[in-house]
Structure 1
Amino acid sequence: MTVTDDVRQALDRQRTIEITTTGRRSGQPRRIETWRYRAAGRYWLTGSPGSRDWYANLLAEPAFTLHLNGMDVAARARPVTDPGERARVLGEIVAALNGAGSLGSWLDGSPLVEIELG
């Protein structure tokens, strides 16, 4: 599937998005609202330090759905565990958040996945 300009424009405009993951234990769809970030020219899901059910779900089943402006878009999560890549991406994200905590705390305890589109 080729990603349309409409999808990219919606992702650029919408910081607050909804995603549907597959529950890792139940196998049922789980829809939540979260924030997407843009760094290094790509799109990411992360959050302040702490555990997240959506992250655990994506580790178990990386396929998920993005809900953007009435569009349901198939996506895939690429978990980022490499310390160097995490530092580069989270460094850019945290710097743009102005006072959302220290980079060290984000590196130690925040989930990070790249949103891969068709």
Structure 2
Amino acid sequence: MDPSIQNALAISPASPARERTIDITTTGARTGRHHRIEVWFYRADGEIYLSTQPARRDWYANIVKNPGFTFHLKHGVRADLDAVGTPIRDAAHRARVFRAIIADLDQAWNPAGIPQPVEPLEQWMAGSPLVHVTFTKEALI
């Protein structure tokens, strides 16, 4: 993988909001049309995830129905990476990742000015989508 892409994906809790902000293009669950939206990505245990504070999201329904999507880097480097999203439904896995996300966001200087404290783990577990991102071999060349 290109080193500039690796650097863009290597966010940490110290990374500002702009470095976490990407676009994704999903295929609509009902319409079959492509939809491009802005989201944040997170790293936990060295892996990349998509999530949001507790809420229902169309992008999640799209990935559940059509797992292939495009992960668009746009800060520091521009790249369109083919990816596959896997919804995480296992409670222990979800809890481990959400704890990392909450710790990342629940800092005195949090990266996006999200009101503190961040919603508790129970709310994330009950109401937040969680998708593990795997890049295709073609995206890694």
User: Per-residue deviation at 1:52?
Assistant: 0.2
Query: Which of residues 101, 104, 111 is equivalent to 1:93?
Result: 101
CA distance in 2 between partners of 1:84 and 1:47 (Å):
18
Distance 2:2 2:82 in 1: 12
Q: What TM-score do the two structures reach when normalised by structure 2?
A: 0.78
Please point out which of 3, 8, 11 is paired with 1:10: 8
Q: Over aligned residues, Cα RMSD in angstroms?
A: 1.2
Aligned-residue offset at 1:105: 0.3
71, 90, 95: which one aligns with 1:82:
90
The alignment partner of 2:10 has SS state of helix
Q: Which amino acid aligns with 1:103?
A: L
Say which one has the larger Rg.
2
- Count, aligned residues: 116
Residue type of the alignment partner of 1:89: V
Unmatched segments (≥5 aa) in structure 2:
12-18, 107-116, 137-141
Q: How does 1:1-118 map to 2 (within 5 A)?
A: 3-12=1-10, 14-68=19-73, 69-98=77-106, 99-118=117-136
1:41-73 per-residue CA deviation (whole Å, 9 max, x = no partner) reads 111100010100000000000000011132111
Larger proportion of strand:
1
Q: String of CA shifts for 1:8-42, please: whole Å, max 9, x gaps.
A: 22222520111100011111110000000111111
Per the normalisation by structure 1, the TM-score is 0.92
* Structure 1 segments of 4+ aligned residues over 6 angstroms from their partners: none
